Structure 1
Amino acid sequence: MSGASVCCIREPVVIGPRRIVCLTEEPTEVLYALGEQDRIVGISGFTVRPPRARKEKPRVSAFTSAKIDAILALQPDMAIGFSDIQADIAQALIRAGVEVWISNHRSVAGILDYIRRLGALVGAGDAAGLYAHRAAAHVDAVRAAAAALPRHPRVYFEEWDDPIITGIQWVAELLRIAGGVDVFPELATQPLAKNRILADAGEVVRRDPQIIFGSWCGKRFRPEQVAARPGWDMLGAVRARQVFEIKSPIILQPGPAALFDGLDALHAHIRAWAPRDD
């Protein structure tokens, strides 16, 4: 038709995977925070952040196991998980033709970089950069507040009770940022849990922490069980009733939760301890 013009309406370009299965909690939290939750088709059964994720997405994995058939039925174009512990899950999915990204970061800096990398993967690099910047600013603010405390307690963090396993690197870093002094700094840099096992529980007694934090992944932390260990009744933390649970979803997953709620929980207890005279 003379004088007529034809307008071409283009569909928005979608960058990166469109159907993602999150095998752990942190990719789910990050993708929701970036507004990219529609890409998620399946999540870990341990996911609690954000709460709506459990209502909106099917749960298809634990940490050391996964429902491979259920995952494949979702027709994912990528699965995202964490650590060598998920190697068998990753292998099964790769053999079935699914692209898999297993991150293995272990530090606070690694968590911030993870946010940026995941954002870039789904075409949300700018939003991820802003989110990482906000997290880093929060960490710096807590660090500054902690530096102003009058005292800094010796702190023991327990990740598991049988065998006794001390805290992983990002947890130890957050302890220091929150104002505490990690009593097992030499173990914190060990990436594998088996290398953070305490062969001698008496070593905790010798280092005499003034605060004990526990986060037993997948089960409730029991301060009374800790206090009942041989010789542990003499610990400063036990005598002063400074034994606290930090919920595992906010401290043992290497994602935003640890940098916000996990760090805040650690700092709140340390800040409350600092003015004490015992």
Structure 2
Amino acid sequence: MTDAFPQRIVCLTEEPTEVLYALGEEHRIVGISGFTVRPPRARREKPKVSAFTSAKIGEILALKPDLAIGFSDIQADIARELIKAGVEVWISNHRSVDGIVAYIRRLGAMVGAGDRAEAYAQRAEAHIAAVREAAAALPRRPRVYFEEWDEPLITGIRWVAELINIAGGDDIFPELAREPLAKQRILADGAPVIARAPEIILGSWCGKRFRPEKVAARPGWAEIPAVRDGELHEVKSPIILQPGPAALFDGLDALHRIIAAWAARGPGRRTGVAR
């Protein structure tokens, strides 16, 4: 019987690749994002044909895709070029934890793997519930500042803020987390961070190494509890800044480990290292 579902998929971002591999549907993928790191074998097996804001349109068309999958308004220009060339394109725009889980279900349905996608989504939901329950047992909740970029300062997107909450912390910029675009989450300077006195600072600088010593040296930041106590930590961007399974599993676990360790140390006790 002829397979009625897409046979040649180009994944313009990381999360569709991770989901399709997890569902056992990787044979449908003919091209991936150059930023893909999960699963590691994808980089060995699939040609890399896109970045996030740019793509090798000619190379994509040479792969004869019957579907291209991307994410957000940032990939609108790529989508436009592919649509003009006759390629069917799906651009998701989910920004929340619930949206990520729903994305797994939708993508699974699109490739005829609805049952496996449902099981995978339920695994994610069970993991979220287990971490939430563990977080509820912590003796205290920290105020958390998540920094997505340093020049300019950009605060965390909605799913990151929600995962911080699930992991046992409170994001200090909940009003900005609701803003879908990075430019809407830019801080003019560090004064609002100082004023909100986070007890943990998390950095995930979108692909470049987080430098806690540079953060600690910012004017006025020495008085922030997180800086004073050495609570500056990196969360690697591949596990937190892509709206896919990585954030719900490894990203959430990383957040909870940091927060649980802080809660166990007690007020005002230094970690001894900034990492």
Band the TM-score falls in, shorter-chain normalisation: over 0.9
The 3-state SS of whatever aligns with 2:10 is: strand
Equivalent of residue 224 in structure 2, options 235, 256, 262: 235
| In 1, Cα distance between equivalents of 2:267 and 2:210 | 27
1:231-273 deviations in Å (ceiling 9; x for gaps): 1111111111110110000000000000000000000000000
Give the 4+ runs in structure 1 shifted more than 2 A.
Answer: none
Matching residue of 1:99: 88
Shift of 1:134: 0.2
Matching residue of 1:217: 206
Matching residue of 1:3: none
Matching of residue 252 in structure 1 with residue 238 in structure 2: no
Q: Which residues of structure 1 form unaligned runs of 5+?
A: 1-10
Shift of 1:200: 3.0
Q: Structure 1: which amino acid aligns with 2:138?
A: L
The 3-state SS of whatever aligns with 1:274 is: helix
Matching of residue 272 in structure 1 with residue 261 in structure 2: yes
Q: Are the equivalent residues in 1 in contact too, given 2:239–2:250 (CA < 8 A)?
A: yes
Equivalent of residue 112 in structure 1, options 101, 104, 107: 101
Matching residue of 1:4: none
Matching of residue 67 in structure 1 with residue 61 in structure 2: no
What count of residue pairs does the alignment treat as equivalent? 267
1:188-231 deviations in Å (ceiling 9; x for gaps): 10011111111231110010100000111121111111111111
Matching residue of 2:272: none
Matching residue of 1:54: 43
Matching residue of 2:174: 185
Matching of residue 90 in structure 1 with residue 79 in structure 2: yes
TM normalised by structure 2 equals: 0.96
Percent identity over paired residues: 75
Q: Structure 1: which amino acid aligns with 2:51?
A: A
Matching of residue 159 in structure 1 with residue 142 in structure 2: no
TM-align CA RMSD: 0.7
Structure having the higher Rg = 1
Shift of 1:26: 0.2
| In 2, Cα distance between equivalents of 1:84 and 1:277 | 42
The 3-state SS of whatever aligns with 2:91 is: strand
Shift of 1:16: 1.6
Q: Structure 1: which amino acid aligns with 2:20?
A: L
Equivalent of residue 78 in structure 1, options 67, 78, 86: 67
| In 2, Cα distance between equivalents of 1:266 and 1:14 | 41
Q: Structure 1: which amino acid aligns with 2:219?
A: P
| In 2, Cα distance between equivalents of 1:178 and 1:160 | 22
Matches within 5 A, 1:127-138: 127-138=116-127
| In 1, Cα distance between equivalents of 2:247 and 2:136 | 19
Q: Structure 1: which amino acid aligns with 2:160?
A: V
Q: Which residues of structure 2 form unaligned runs of 5+?
A: 269-275
The 3-state SS of whatever aligns with 1:60 is: strand
Q: Structure 1: which amino acid aligns with 2:57?
A: I
Matches within 5 A, 1:34-49: 34-49=23-38
Matching residue of 1:24: 13
Q: Are the equivalent residues in 1 in contact too, given 2:153–2:189 (CA < 8 A)?
A: no
| In 2, Cα distance between equivalents of 1:157 and 1:170 | 12
Q: Structure 2: which amino acid aligns with 1:104?
A: N
Matching residue of 2:273: none
